[in-house]
Amino acid sequence: MSEIFKPEVDRRTLLRRAAAVGLLATPAVTMLSACVGGGDDKDDNAEKPAGTVSATNPLGIKEDEPLEIVIFNGGLGTKYATDVHIPSYNKLFPKSKVAFSQAEEIATVVQPRFTAGNPPDMVNNSGSKLMDQGALVQAGQVQDLTDLFAAPSLDIAGKTVKDTLIPGTVEQGTFKDKPYVLNYAFTVFGLWYSGKLFKDNGWTAPTTWADFTALLEKMKGKGITPFGYAGANAPYYMYTVLLTSAAKIGGADILKNIDNLEDGAWTNDAVKQAATAWAEVGAKYSNKAFLGLKHTEVQLQHNQYKVGLYPSGSWLENEQAKDTPAGFDYQLMPIPSVTAADKLPVTALYAAAGEQYFVASKGKNPRGGMEYLRHMLSKAGAIGFTQLTKTLTVVAGATDGMEISPGLTSGNKALGAAGADTFSFRFDTWYKKLDDELRAATNELFYQGGTADKFVTRMQKAADAIKADSSIEKFSR
Amino acid sequence: MKHGRYPFIIGFLIVPVAIYATFVIAAYVQAFQLSFTNWRGFSPDVSYIGFDNFVKLFHDDTFWKAIRHHVLLLVFLPLITIILALFFAFLLNVGGGSKGGRTRGVWGSKFYRVIFFFPQLLALALVAVIFSRVYAPDDSGLINGMLNQLGTGPVLFLADKHLALWSILAVLIWQAVGFYVVLFSAGMGSIPTEIYEAAALDGATRGTLFFKVTLPLLWNTMQVAWVYLGIAAFDAFALVSIMSVDSGGPDGATTVLGLEIYRNAFNYAQFGYASAMGVVLFFLTITFAALTLRVTRRDAIEL
């Protein structure tokens, strides 16, 4: 028995134990390599309903299967999920436990889980660190949403989910002829101004280019920077304006050609004219120092009445809610017509469904993920979202007649005036590289004395390079 | 007890070596493996495409732009940092002349020594954020706020493509100098005072002391400094990523390999291509370190 109480552990035994600990660490090496090349368990439980299909359960989810969702925590917050959509889902399926988490960097948090093969069921792929949606689809990680759109709406009687949506929504999330992504928030894009500033000065929203430059001139005279965007991180806002002008001049097909990487899609006259017009605004009516500013800094100056017109989407009002002085009265104006012979009227708008939500095809509960989206697309779900985020959804007319905020009303009015003349582009999510090149080219054109010719040649070259690159999957619409 | 020595040494080494193998060597090996694939980061399946990534890299303008920026950083970062650090270290240790047989620094050198080291204590990301404010183009910027008061318009440090990389280089130098002041101070501390005394007796001025005594005896330390700073010049990712306009801009004017790797991997989901860049960076760094050590080799002076 004295063996147990032996006062000192033999040194060699100790070392052998230490060595054993070291050996334990080595298998981790092989585990790491297993991330690539291994683990291809393709259990496609996605296509068939897991539970019984019924009127209240049209997608046939398994009622006690837990559901995991990840929401991007950015300008829209996460309250709409925790306070509106999850309760709605749980009301119908109380036994399905929802595991909610939020992330500010979606790719950082979620991407490793896709690679490892245990993704969350529903992901809000958004923010500056979003995952490349095209690559996700290419890798077969995204659930086909056809069944969701064909299912009956949760609370709009007699209609399928698809029937309740603004036309174009399903197409906006379509890759290779199949709907893979729900773009939920509906964004109207234009030039924002303070209703108060305009009223105090007796200014009105111009519709022609001559009136527009005259207004910019007046603003300049008042010591206001007439127009500007943040070059450091938001040239995207400006190129949306530029391409909107191009679409108005030459018709919405201009954007379609750009998306489809057609030959000469950038070097045509419409894009060139738009670039010329906006390069002049950049040279005469902006401040070159804005190239070094971030979007929040320019937006703050806008709120301080130091910037007249600011290009942005309808998320702006909510994003600036904290800094907006009382009575600022956010208003939206469509981009004025560049020429009198523009193919589309001045009321035409860049408007698109944005903010991506998708279901993981290789997750544990893909049917549940789709059911969750059905709750987001219910009328009650849409109203709750708009009230909390001051952002419209793709559910058509869900908040009609509700007074929520001046900016939202103004955007809604512009959308009504535009009628069928709304358009958008997709290349920025399809080809991230083209998006980056356009950001740099736009900064050059607007703030660094670039010319329209240089701009279109540069972009055509970038688009051609992507077209020729076989490693990038191509999409078309 | 001789037979117990190797198990003893191995026992102590095995854990750190295993950790190193897991997190460094295995990662390197995997990067080499991935550089020959077209992996996009979202699926467990990879297909091998041979040297395609490297061929593409060779024709990539942005890649060469990044290389040019590294060359510029590689020349100026070590050069300016070492000159400044040597100058400060000399002043702090020897610059005050000698008194009672002991060399000393200029007045207040103990205080300065602490001050110089301060930037080293700040996290790099913090330094980047601070200097973004210093360089900001509007009135909120430290420098431009003052310039605007004087009425001499703003200087677009980060937004002017001719100035941007130099502005970032300045921050790199500011951050690095403190460490090398301390390093060189330690080196100077180990130089026997008799040598200075003897030189001083022979009528050597401070300049002669510096060039004829301090510099040759510090050669080894400087060599190390050069290699460290060179490797830092191959990095610069954090500062560029946080400070630069339109990440790596304006118009690619500040981009570096680290940023391009990050962009290709995490924005374009081209992990294979990004790994190929990583492999190139690996060889560049190794080559640089080997070359520097070889070219600057001199006989060590026995003290």
Least confident of A6-15, B60-69, B180-189, B278-287: A6-15
Residues of A in contact with B15 (CB under 8 A): 18, 21-22, 25
Q: With an 8 Å Cβ cutoff, are A293 and B137 in contact?
A: yes
- The pLDDT tens digits for A346-390 are 999 999 888 899 999 999 999 999 999 999 999 999 999 998 888
Q: Can you give the three-state secondary structure of chain B, one letter per residue?
A: CHHHHHHHHHHHHHHHHHHHHHHHHHHHHHHHHHCCECCCCCCCCCCECCCHHHHHHHCCHHHHHHHHHHHHHHHHHHHHHHHHHHHHHHHHHCCCCEECCEECCCCCHHHHHHHHHHHHHCCHHHHHHHHHHHHCCCCCCHHHHHHHHHCCCCCCCCCCCCCHHHHHHHHHHHHHHHHHHHHHHHHHHCCCHHHHHHHHHCCCCHHHHHHHHHHHHCHHHHHHHHHHHHHHHCCCHHHHHHHCECCCECCCCCCCHHHHHHHHHHHCCCHHHHHHHHHHHHHHHHHHHHHHHHHCCCCCCCC
- The pLDDT tens digits for B157-171 are 888 888 999 999 999
Average pLDDT over residues B8-33: 90
In chain A, what percentage of residues exceed pLDDT 90? 54
pLDDT value at position A408? 87
What is the residue-averaged pLDDT of chain A? 85
- The pLDDT tens digits for A163-190 are 999 888 898 888 888 999 999 998 899 9
Confidence of residue A415 (pLDDT cuts 50, 70, 90): confident
User: How far does B191 lie from chain A, in Å, by closest CA?
Assistant: 42
User: How far does A289 lie from chain B, in Å, by closest CA?
Assistant: 5
Alpha helices in A233-365 (DSSP H): 235-250, 253-259, 269-285, 295-303, 316-319
User: How far does B274 lie from chain A, in Å, by closest CA?
Assistant: 13
Q: With an 8 Å Cβ cutoff, are A471 and B273 in contact?
A: yes
Residues of B in contact with A39 (CB under 8 A): 44
Count how many pairs of residues, chain A against chain B, have C-beta atoms within 8 Å.
158
Confidence of residue A420 (pLDDT cuts 50, 70, 90): confident
Confidence of residue A446 (pLDDT cuts 50, 70, 90): very high
Q: Are A147 and A53 contacting, i.e. CB atoms less than 8 angstroms apart?
A: no
Strand pairing category for A307-313 and A182-194: antiparallel
Q: With an 8 Å Cβ cutoff, are B137 and A292 in contact?
A: yes
Q: How far apart are CA A291 and CA A293, in angstroms?
A: 6
B225 pLDDT higher than 80: yes
Average pLDDT over residues A279-307: 91
pLDDT value at position B186? 87
Q: How far apart are CA A170 and CA A162, in angstroms?
A: 8
Q: With an 8 Å Cβ cutoff, are B252 and A21 in contact?
A: no
Strand pairing category for A225-227 and A307-313: parallel
User: How far does A402 lie from chain B, in Å, by closest CA?
Assistant: 39
Residue in chain A closest to B251 (alpha carbons) equals A440
- The pLDDT tens digits for A72-102 are 988 788 999 999 999 999 999 999 999 999 9
Interface membership of A22 toward B (CB under 8 Å): yes
ipTM over 0.90: no
pLDDT value at position A412? 86
Whole-model pTM over 0.90: no
pLDDT value at position A115? 84
Confidence of residue B39 (pLDDT cuts 50, 70, 90): confident
Q: Are A379 and A210 contacting, i.e. CB atoms less than 8 angstroms apart?
A: no
Residues of B in contact with A440 (CB under 8 A): 246, 249-252
pLDDT: which is higher, A374 or B94: A374
In whole angstroms, how far apart are CA A313 and each of A185, A187, A192, A301, A425?
11, 6, 9, 17, 14
What is the residue-averaged pLDDT of chain B? 86
- The pLDDT tens digits for A7-54 are 344 444 444 444 444 333 333 333 333 344 433 444 444 566 777 788
pLDDT value at position A219? 93
Which residues 240-279 of A are in CB contact (within 8 Å) with B?
Answer: none
The residues, any chain, with a CB within 8 Å of residue B257's CB and separated by 6 or more, are: B63, B66, B67, B70, B234, B277, B280, B281
B128 pLDDT higher than 80: yes
B144 pLDDT higher than 90: no
In whole angstroms, how far apart are CA B1 and each of A11, A14, A16, B4, B6?
11, 16, 16, 6, 11
Q: What is the DSSP string of A232-249?
A: TT-HHHHHHHHHHHHHHH
Confidence of residue A463 (pLDDT cuts 50, 70, 90): very high
Q: With an 8 Å Cβ cutoff, are B250 and A291 in contact?
A: yes
pLDDT value at position B177? 92
Confidence of residue A438 (pLDDT cuts 50, 70, 90): very high
What sign results for the dihedral spanned by CA atoms A43, A48, A49, A52? negative
Residue in chain B closest to A433 (alpha carbons) equals B268
Q: Which two tokens stand for residue A74?
A: 């950015």
Q: With an 8 Å Cβ cutoff, are B22 and A25 in contact?
A: yes
- The pLDDT tens digits for B98-111 are 665 566 777 777 88
